[in-house]
Structure 1
Amino acid sequence: MGTLPSAPVEKVIVTYKSQAAEAGSNTAAKSDAAEKAAKTGEKLAFERRLAGGAALVDLGDSATKQDVTEVMDAFRADPAVASVEPDIRAYAMAVTPNDTEYAKQWDLFEATGGMNVPAAWDKTTGSGVTVAVIDTGYAAHSDLAANTVAGYDFISTSSDARDGNGRDADAKDEGDWNATDGECGTGSRASNSSWHGTHVAGTIGAVTHNTKGIAGIAYGAKVQHVRVLGKCGGSSSDIADAITWASGGSVPGVPANATPAKVINLSLGGASSTCPSVYQTAINGAVQRGTTVVVAAGNSNANTSGFTPANCSNVITVASTSREGNRSYYSNYGTAVDVSAP
């Protein structure tokens, strides 16, 4: 993954104490945002209620780091507020594509660095399980189509979504390319689209025994694309709602998930020394509904404690190993790692 770009914060997530009027009333939350705007001189606006009950407040795209600090301090000083945190960005964890023939998928079967997957196939191929890939969405692919169920696009900002609107039922990957250096914050680079969600989905559930492409690790499972990453990554507010929806939870303004996932895959991450409460609330809810949440440790050759949602509780955090069975040179590491895989 390399060094994460430093994207500006444009929104904050405010959680009110349960007894506060703002916790249950959008009108009260709007009024509170207006009050904080008057106090700080910023153009604040209540945007929407998140699945976990928190309020998403927009600061506008011209807010400076100092502006964000002042706004968050104003909310923290309010006795009705339980917590406030920035709506941080997350980015696709870059991976090297596999070759398109099973004989070259050493990660599945080689004795030293492989996972002994053929022996596991004797016991199960994932039949009856839906795996939600919370990522960039899908690009139509003949080696995935038969194993794909309906998903959802959770990118709420149309410019990030690149599809002309906000959230909708079409999880198509519109591309996460960047035209110029610095377009997505200090340190970001111009790049082509990764089509990362389709790559991850193929690794998990590519159709197998069909004389083409690769073999999916759980080729008997169904894959559900839940789109959260577009231009310049994705926001924690969108990702948290996606986790809730994918696991069968209710999200305001979004139709119920007809095929809730038993497993959620999050091959994404952002820089944060703590797990944001908006993530932890969504993850806890998913686990309570019986969903397993699997998260990439990250590819920055750094301690996983500084990356989220890898540093959240109730997740399985996965680091990367090399063909020789060693830690991959780029893989994150640390006590938060639960398991490693090629």
Structure 2
Amino acid sequence: MSKSNKLHQRALATAMAVALTAGFAGSAAAAGRVDTAGLHSPDQTSFDRFIVKYRNGTSVTAQQGSLTKATKASAQALSASRVRSLAVGGEVVQASRALDRVEAEGFMRQIAADPNVEYVEADLIMKPLMTPNDPHYGTYLWGMQSGTPGIRADQAWNTTSGAGVVVAVLDTGYTDHSDLVGNILPGYDFISQSRTAGDGNGRDSDAHDNGDYYRNEDSSWHGTHTAGTVAAVGNNNKGVIGVAYGAKVVPVRVLGRGGGYTSDIADGIIWASGGSVAGVPANANPAEVINMSLGGASTCSSTYQAAIDGAVSRGTTVVVAAGNSNADVSGFTPASCNNVIAVAATNNSGTRASYSNYGSKIDVAAPGGDSPDCTTLIVSTGNDGLSAPGAENYLCMAGTSMAAPHVAGTVALMQAARGTKAPLTPAQVESILKSSLRAFPGSNDKPIGNGIIDANAAVAAAAAF
């Protein structure tokens, strides 16, 4: 669901407070200062090096003795030794194993209990800060930045790019855009009616968008645009960057000329999430996240609900655009279904976009853009063909269709940040997204949830969960 206007191609991590209690027993009153701020960084969850500043005149023997005494308070076997002296004063101390936040704080407090210690801090790992070189980023991609209306994806990129996560985009398919195709995995065309598909046949393994022009409307290239917001190739000195620019997209073509049938979309949901659809080869890349920037005026149907429940049972989070009718979302499907994350749209002031649906069934809000021009709309990958595909370009659009992929991309970042931990369940994803929202910068005339998604805070919470 979008409103479009063509734009032809032209050329740090914040800390999240965590309440900790010492994991070491019997700590004495600290004689030195303990700097625990670094322990709360979302970028680092384990610590094995520390910086200890001893008071002038403290012998090496006394320093090692204080370390030995501090390690004895650990509940698990631990030793520590001096590595070297710093030019600014202080000693680098190496622990024999990595400590979590609680253990690290307890160890630091045990060291600081020695009256010869001035201060103790973690020897933190620094990383390059991600500022993408994609030309349209600074001017147009306000929705991904850290300003008032943005989702702070730029800060989340200091932790993860979404690599290793698959997002299925159920839409009009995709075009071979050079700023997107590198992140495209094999998809499927689920449009069963040849007339709607417009490609001379029914279902097949080619998910390319050959145009959804209908009556007096030009082709929208909607699927290429939404997929680009999710995972356009990033930092390649070209065009735009996706929220999860390291993730992969499985394009599932369910919308063609005049739209798409519920029956085809339901099969697409099942297949995308790793379920079985008769006559269709298994999806080799089941999605952790499904983005559906589509819908219509109706309450949630039994068919939609069954398909969504099936996807969720397989561990797939389903993200749905709320709709662009400036009406209560309860009258629109699939956004009104249970077990989805229904996304309303905000403008570049951070408040409800004029067209966005609203109501108690909205879960979160995200940038969808609004008039008057491309600096206030959402820019992503596109095509200049009026009917069939032409040359690649970049399009600016507005709609809850543009808001939803900001959320789907954020979910991909969250799952990637889990590392070797088990993936978050859809219910956990929704809970974290809602508990980490940015407050709206102003009041909304209609209810659209409690805030704008905060990708950085959500990623930090997902990593620590």
TM-score w.r.t. length of structure 2 = 0.50
CA distance, structure 2, for counterparts of residue 151 and residue 304 of structure 1: 30
The match for 2:288 among 255, 262, 265 is: 262
Match of 1:284 among 309, 316, 324: 309
Q: Measure, in 1, the Cα distance between the counterparts of 2:150 and 2:6.
A: 16
Q: Report the counterpart of residue 229 of structure 1 in structure 2.
A: 255
Contact 1:93 1:298 in 2 (8 A): no
Kindly provide the CA deviation profile for residues 164-191 of structure 1, in whole angstroms up to 9, marking residues without a partner as x: 1100000111211123xxxxxxxxxx21
- The CA deviation at 1:122 is 1.6
2:159 aligned partner: 123
SS in 2 for 1:293: strand
1:199 to 209, 225, 239: 225
Deviation of the 1:197 alpha carbon: 0.1
SS for the counterpart of 1:239 is helix
Report the equivalent of 2:104.
none
- Tell me if structure 1 keeps the 8 A contact 2:319–2:343: yes
Structure 2: stretches of 5+ with no match in the other structure: 10-135, 368-465
The 5 A counterparts of 1:273-312 are: 274-312=299-337
Give per-residue Cα distances to partners, 1:89-143, cap 9 Å, x unaligned. Answer: xxx4446678861112111114211111111112221111110000000111000
Q: For 1:208, what is the secondary structure of its paired residue?
A: coil
- Tell me how large the CA RMSD over aligned residues is: 1.4
Aligned partner letter, 2:224: T
Matching residue of 2:208: 172
State how 1:151-162 maps to structure 2 within 5 Å: 151-162=187-198
SS of the residue 1:290 aligns to = coil
In structure 2, how many angstroms separate the alpha carbons of the residues matched to 1:96 and 1:119? 29
Residue 112 to residue 97, structure 1, CA distance change in 2 (3 Å): farther
Q: 270, 277, 280: which is aligned to 1:251?
A: 277
1:106–1:98 Cα change, 3 Å = farther
SS at match of 1:118: helix
8 Å Cα contact 2:193/2:201 also seen in 1: yes
Residue 210 (structure 1) aligns with: 236
Give the structure 2 partner of residue 132 of structure 1: 168
Change (3 A) 1:148 1:292: same
Counterpart residue type for residue 287 of structure 1: V
Q: Which amino acid aligns with 1:158?
A: S
Unaligned runs of 5+ in 1: 1-91, 180-189
Amino acid at match of 2:238: K
Residue 240 (str. 1) matches residue 266 (str. 2): yes
Structure 1 residue 271 corresponds to structure 2 residue 297 = yes
Corresponding residue SS for 1:234 = coil
Q: Distance in 2 between matches of 1:113 and 1:93?
A: 19
Larger Rg: 2
Q: Given the superposition, is the C-alpha separation of residues 193 and 215 from structure 1 closer, same or farther in structure 2, using an over 3 Å criterion? A: same
* 2:150 counterpart residue number: 114
Secondary structure, counterpart of 1:268 in structure 2: coil
Among 119, 127, 138, which residue is 1:103 paired with?
138
Q: Matches of 1:94 and 1:234 in 2, distance apart?
A: 18
Q: For the Cα contact (< 8 Å) 1:93–1:268, is it kept in 2?
A: no
Contact 2:189 2:254 in 1 (8 A): yes
Matched, 1:147 2:183: yes
Query: For 2:317 and 2:201, how far apart are their aligned partners in 1?
Result: 31
What is the identity, as a one-letter code, of the residue corresponding to 2:336?
N
Partner of 1:340: 365
Asked whether the 8 Å contact 1:205–1:219 carries over to 2, the reply is yes
Distance 2:322 2:204 in 1: 29
Q: CA deviation at 1:145?
A: 1.1
Check whether the contact 1:153–1:168 (CA below 8 A) recurs between aligned residues.
Answer: yes
Q: Give the whole-Å Cα distance in 2 for the aligned partners of 1:253 and 1:281.
A: 20
Partner Cα distance (2:218, 2:322) in 1: 23
Q: 2:146–2:153: 8 Å Cα contact kept in structure 1?
A: no
Percent identity, please: 62
Counterpart residue identity of residue 306, structure 2: T
Deviations 1:249-282 (A, max 9, x none): 000110100011110000000110x211111001
2:256 is the counterpart of 1:220? no
Identify if the C-alpha distance between structure 1 residues 162 and 297 changes in structure 2 by more than 3 Å, giving closer, same or farther.
same
Q: What CA distance in whole angstroms lies between the structure 1 residues aligned with 2:309 and 2:7?
A: 33
What is the match of residue 53 of structure 1?
A: none
Alpha-carbon separation, structure 2, partners of 1:98 and 1:225: 23
Following superposition, the deviation at residue 147 of structure 1 comes to: 0.5
What is the number of residues matched between the two proteins?
Answer: 240
* Deviation (angstroms), 1:232: 0.7
Q: Which runs of 4+ in 1 moved over 3 A?
A: 92-100
